[in-house]
Amino acid sequence: MQPVKILFVCHGNICRSPMAEFIMKDLVRRKGLESRFEIASAATSTEEIGEPVYGPAARCLMANGIPFEHRAARQIRKGDGVYWDFIIGMDSANMRNIRHMLGSDADGKIHKMMEFAGSDADVADPWYTGDFDTTFDDLMAACRGLLSYLGVR
């Protein structure tokens, strides 16, 4: 059985998308399903390429008991549209950029994060809002919803 491959995408790949990546990895790990998933994150921009998880985002993950490892921000690539099963953007601007960068979504792989929490809302960017707790809560709800969507209880 091939793993379900999920790529979370935000603007810089230092706040929202790595938070989603590590939340999802933790949820999957707690269910003993690591072998059934491949989970990563990427950026639409080049602004933060090579940078680690942003300090306040890392502190929010730690405060909520979510383990994470060092990683370097990377930009989404054309081949990601073929490789990943789910490409999940955090907000409307990310969605536009993902579609522009990857082209057609004939396979229906591109999704907006909060759709898995039953909403069309954007995941607010804590780089600007400073509210990492609300972002964390939104990401946790959407990750749980995504697992449910995938039939994981």
Average pLDDT, the chain: 96
85's tokens: 């099963």
Residue 137 makes CB contacts below 8 A (sequence gap 6+) with: none
Q: At what angle do helices 16-30 and 132-149 cross, to 10 degrees?
A: 50
State pTM to two decimals. Answer: 0.97
Catalytic, out of 80, 91, 122, 125: 125
- pLDDT tens, residue by residue, 35-78: 999 999 999 999 999 999 999 999 999 999 999 999 999 999 99
Catalytic, out of 15, 16, 26, 138: 16
Has residue 24 got a pLDDT over 70? yes
**Catalytic site includes residue 59:** no
Q: What pLDDT is recorded for position 113?
A: 98
* Average of per-residue pLDDT across 142-151: 97
Strand partners, 39: 6
Residue 91 makes CB contacts below 8 A (sequence gap 6+) with: 10, 112, 122, 123, 124, 125
**Catalytic site includes residue 16:** yes
**Catalytic site includes residue 131:** no
105: pLDDT confidence band, cut at 50, 70 and 90? confident
